[in-house]
Every structure is written in structure tokens, then in C-alpha cells.
Amino acid sequence: MVVNHHNLEESLKMKLSLVKVVNGCRLGKIQNLGKAGDCTVDIPGCLLYTRTGSAPHLTHHTLHNIHGVPAMAQLTLSTLAEHHEVLAEYKKGVGSFIGMPESLVYCSLHDPVSPGPSGYVTNKSVSVWGFGGRVEMTVSKFMAIQEALQPDWFQCLSDGEASCAEATSMKRARKSVDRSLLFLDSCLRLQEESEVLQKSVMIGVIEGGDVMEERLRSARETAKRPVGGFLLDGFQGNPTVTETRLHLLSSVTAELPEDKPRPVLVELEWCLSDVGASRSKEVAIDLRRCSDCLSRLICGVSRPDEVLECIERGVDLFESFFPYQVTERGCALTFTFDCQLNPEETLLQQNGIQEETKCLDQIKKIEAAGCNQEMTSFEISLKEKKYQEDFSPLVRGCSCYCCKNHTRAYIHHLLVTNELLAGVLLMMHNFEHYFRFFCSIREALKSDTLAQLKELIHRQMS
């Protein structure tokens, strides 16, 4: 099938400008976003996680009290598909409908927190799961819904059931890639014919499970199409195969279109990476004129340590569902991302006391994890009785509304009495803490201290 992509290519005016590339990590901005082309997204960065178009637990007013909210909100098709008739009649798009006309909107297929059951993908359709159950998506229905939503970006229909979380047969991996490419070509053709979607950007999806050959084929073939970016799907899941997943991710990002900046004064220096693919080292070079780069998103990866691993492998944008999961557990994010030691910590280190303190903290984390197996070492559970008389803020020095106005003891009280305000205050803190974490990543890349930040994060893991 031959598709005329001329109009689509004309509509893709957004530009990824890289300021710096350090051992695969990309620092820069995605510019000319939005219908008017006046919005910018910093990378590495994250999206604002929403459920049915609203930040969990928060009103628009409380959301505006959070510092550093991402410019782009993530809406999930699984929560919106059942309401597309209303949006089609509204005709102004989902951003205006949910009261966030100033935000960029990215529509993904599935909710990363509530993935649907597997086994419902065919050569003609993909199923999503809403509140009323299964919704079958053919290409024509999917694109009709996108016309009703009018998102700035949207994930193309794809077969994402072959993942790295479990072993995938060659046959199943090949089928996932073939189906995804077929869906992509069909969606591109319908977008070409749609006047409403001419300013929307379609994100191509890289599939193939844990089969290297199929992953690379998916990357190469998707890159041949006029997509506005790449979504790396299926890299979430089983922690026992982390090294395998990271090796696969490195190979896939290396296969995507190479960055082609126009060097000023000096030339790029190239070397072979550990996976045998060419990658640029950091040199004294102006990368701001880069025009051939496309953004790389990843789905299902949101934990701080995993985020840093993916950034080192060239990923630009992440989902922010992790703060929501932490909130739902009645927990608060408390991990530190400040690489600068304060004077007290320096003194402890000099006196040899730091190791003892670290051991005690480790024991406390293990005991806390025993109470809630889903907990990570990046959070504390405020349901625990020990916080009943703890009148300190969630995180000392945190500038969020919750930490400036309330204490751990108060949040503990709200949780044990099942007050709705507990979710509101925890969500405000956890979102702001997480968004500041991404700011610290960008600052670390600017100052060449990402290795120190990564070491700091890993030291806090139990």
C-alpha cells in the first residue's frame, strides 16, 4: 500500500532541539508543540498522569498549587473510549472539555496502572478495557475517537501483548510487529484524509517482545514512516530480567534514527557502544540546530532508578503514574535527589558514623517493606503507628503545600480515619516531589553530575 504522507510531513512542525548528548543521555527541548506551536517540553521529562482526564484526587485549583507540573497531560483511551460520542458532539476536543485547554494532551492506549487482560488482539482490532468492560478498537473506530479527542499527540494502535516481562516466542513477536506496522500504515492513511487530525502527531510504537531481531525490525520499519516520535512498549515488568531488558532497550534506541546535528567549529566523535551500535560522545559542540531528532517515550516505567537507567539509553519522556501508586498505598515519596551533601552529613561521614546510620535505616526499610510488599525504598508508609506523634513535615525542606502546612502525624490521622483529604495532600506532595526529581536530572546533565545522582538513588534502594 502506498500512502501519500506529504501533508502529514508538512504538519509535523515540532522540533526536538538537543543542547547536550552525554553517553546516550539527551538534554534539550521539544519545541513548537500544540495547535498554535507555542508550547515547549523539557527533556528528559515526564507527562502528567491523569485518570479520565483529571489528575487523581486533585481539582484544577489544587493542581495549580503544585510546582513544576508538566506541560503535557497523559490521557488514556481505556478511560475515554466509552465517552467519545459526547466529545464528538462537543467538537472542541478533550483538552477544552476537561477544563485544561492550556495543556498539551497525549492520548495513550492503556492505563499503566490498570492494564487489561491479554488475548484480545486480532489482525483487525485491539481491545481496551474501560469502566463498562471491553471496548474493541478497529482502525476506523480508533481514528474516529482520535478525531473526537483532538489530542496533540496520540499513540498509534498496536499489538503490545508481547513484552519483555516473560519469554516470547519468535512467532508471537513477529506477529506483534507485523500487526503493529499494519495498524500504523492504516492509521497514517486515515490521518492523511482527516482535516481534524492534521495538526495532531502520531507516535509510532516499537514492539517485538524480548526477541532482539523483531525489536530491531520494528524500530527500523517504524522509523521509515512519518511518525512524530517513538513509543517503546513492553519494557516494563519482571525485575529479574532487568539486565536483559536494558540491553534490549540500548539496542533498540541505537537502531532509531541517528541524531544529525549540524556541528559548529568541531566535529562529532563516534565510538562503539557495548551493544555494537554507533553512538556519539559528548564533545564541545553546539547541538541546538538539530532538526532530525524525534522524541522517544517509554510506557510502564516510572520508578526513579528505572527512569535513570532508561535515560542513559536515550529515552526522553516518561509516564508519572508512580506518585499515584505511592499515594494509593498511603505513602509519601521521601527519597533524596540532592547530590550536594549538607554540613551535618559531611561531619557524620568524617566521624565514621554514616555507615552505622545507613545500616539502621536499611533495617527500618526492610521492616516497613514487610508490612507492604508493594512498597519501595523511595517512600514511607504514613499508616504506621510510629508517625502518630511525628510532627515533622513529610520531607524537610520540601516546598510543596503539604509539607509547608501539615505534618506526618496529621496525614497519619487522615489515613487511619479514611478521610479523603489524605489522598489530596499526599498526591500534591508526591507529584511535586517527582516533578522536582526530573528537574534534578536535567540539572545533573547540565553540570555533568548524572553519575553522582544515579549513585545517590541506588544507595537509597533496599
Binding residues for Zn(2+): 398, 400, 403, 429
- Residue 73's nearest CA partner among 321, 315, 307 is 321
Task: Give φ, ψ of 72 to 5 degrees.
Answer: -110, 130
Cα–Cα distance between 290 and 146 in angstroms, integer?
30
Annotated binding site: 398, 400, 403, 429
Dihedral sign from CA coordinates of 137, 168, 181, 196: positive
* Length of the chain measured in residues: 462
Residue 187 C-alpha cell reads as 492509521
Beta-sheet pairing, 48-49 with 72-76:
parallel
Instruction: Determine how many CB atoms are found less than 10 A away from the CB of residue 91.
Output: 12
Q: Indicate the helix (H) or strand (E) that contains 43.
A: strand 39-43
Residue 217 C-alpha cell reads as 525490525
Cβ proximity of 53 and 94 under 8 Å: yes
Cβ proximity of 462 and 453 under 8 Å: no
Q: Vertex 425, ends 424 and 431: CA angle to 5°?
A: 90
DSSP state, residue 166: S
Cα–Cα distance between 56 and 322 in angstroms, integer?
12
340, amino acid identity? Q
Q: Which residues pair with 114 in a beta bridge?
A: none
140, amino acid identity? S
Buried b (16+ CB within 10 A) or exposed e, 112-140: bbebbeeeebeeebbbbbbeeeebebebe
Please give the full DSSP string across 264-277, using - where no structure is assigned. SSS---EEE-TTS-
**CA 150 from centre of chain:** 21
Q: Vertex 73, ends 70 and 77: CA angle to 5°?
A: 160
CA atoms within 13 A on the CB side of 46: 31
Beta-sheet pairing, 133-138 with 317-318:
unpaired
Q: Which residues pair with 128 in a beta bridge?
A: 135
Cα–Cα distance between 324 and 50 in angstroms, integer?
9
Note the helical H segments in 237-285: 242-255
Residue 265 burial by CB count (10 A; 0-12/13-18/19+): exposed, middle or buried? Answer: exposed
